[in-house]
Amino acid sequence: MKNFVLILIILTLFDASAQNAGSTGLSFLKFGFGARNSAMGDIGNVISEDLSALHYNPSKLTLKSGNEVMVSYNSWIQDVSSQMFGVKTKFLGLPFAVGFNITNVSDIPIRIRPGEPQAKFDANYFYGSISSAYSFSDKLSIGATMKYLYEGLLNDEATGLGFDFGINYLTPFERLSISAVIRNLGSMNALRNQSTKLPAEFRIGPQYKIELSDYYFDFIFAGEYQKYLDSDSHLNFGLEVIYNKILALRTGYQTNYEIRDYTAGIGLMWGNLKFDYAFVPFQSGFGNSSIFSLAFNF
């Protein structure tokens, strides 16, 4: 009875913050990496041309040369926090990226009868990933990610493997690109008596860039279709306005979520250093989420 109550609490918290439940777990895999992506409706599959591509679409790791380090902190809702770290370099002529995610749900009460909780515990989740990509030409690239997964609930633990496969294509229209990815294919070992199903998903969408160099403004318009293979589909949209390569203003919109829709954020760029912030409001009394990220190219 106790384990059933604990697992029910975890699933309720995570599924409320992510989407309609479906039949999957490990909802921390649905959290974004990098405040820029989160501020623009979490459309990283389409717009991530930096290190955050290791989380969204590894094929886009080919779009920028050089080394990069990024760290991101997500203060989610219901005492959920998530920290991500990544580093990218080049090896044997190919881009390689390594990423880590640590997610915690703190102070979960244990109750086997009404009244005060008998105890509290933390739920812990982790993944470590390695990604690489290959360019067939300056217009077409593919990429893949392998993830080691871990979940720990009280005295129970489980591990598993997940895989992502992505493709990116720069169309003949030059400023228009199309990206697609299938994420979180794989499986977990049993947690006590039953294994957790990964939240596998498919995403596809375009990105269009406009550069007004005479006025120091750049614009990015992007959108995508997102389908969780066992449940809901979503349409996500994002807009970014960049002034003089220094200041970025961003907004996004996500459809078919019960407790969230609009997103917003800002970005500051100074040389090789970039700071981003995203704000994601939730309805129905769930509060708000703030995401911070810092990236350095060298």
Domain segments of the chain as ranges:
2-297
Distance (Å) of CA 194 to CA 1, 6, 26, 42: 15, 14, 13, 31
Residue 240 confidence (pLDDT): 98
236-257 burial, b at 16+ Cβ within 10 Å, e below that, comes to bbbbbebeeeeebebbbbbeeb
- For residue 26, the 8-state DSSP code is -
Residue 78 confidence (pLDDT): 67
Distance (Å) of CA 237 to CA 8, 16, 70, 110, 261: 32, 21, 24, 40, 10
Q: Collapsing DSSP states into helix, strand and coil, what is residue 55? A: helix
247: Cβ–Cβ under 8 A, 6 or more apart, which residues?
Answer: 266, 267, 268, 269
Residue 107 confidence (pLDDT): 75
Please tell me the number of Cα atoms within 13 Å of 118 on its side-chain side: 8
- For residue 63, the 8-state DSSP code is G
Distance of CA 176 to the CA centre of its chain: 23
- Reported pTM: 0.87
Distance CA 97, CA 130 (A): 6
Distance CA 293, CA 84 (A): 9
* Helix, strand, coil percentages, rounded to 5, for the chain: 15, 55, 30
Q: Which CATH superfamily is domain 2-297 in?
A: Outer membrane protein transport protein (OMPP1/FadL/TodX) (2.40.160.60)
Distance CA 252, CA 260 (A): 11
pLDDT in tens, the chain (298 residues): 344 334 333 443 444 444 444 556 788 898 889 999 999 999 999 999 999 999 999 999 999 989 999 999 998 876 788 999 999 999 999 999 999 999 988 777 777 778 777 777 788 999 999 999 999 999 999 999 999 999 998 778 999 999 999 999 999 998 999 999 999 999 999 887 788 899 999 999 999 999 998 889 999 999 999 999 988 899 999 999 999 999 999 999 999 998 889 999 999 999 999 999 999 999 887 889 999 999 999 9
Residue 77 confidence (pLDDT): 74
Sign of the Cα torsion 191, 72, 131, 225 reads: positive
113: Cβ–Cβ under 8 A, 6 or more apart, which residues?
Answer: none
Distance of CA 15 to the CA centre of its chain: 15
- Of residues 158, 148, 144, the one with CA closest to residue 57: 144
- Of residues 104, 134, 136, the one with CA closest to residue 120: 104
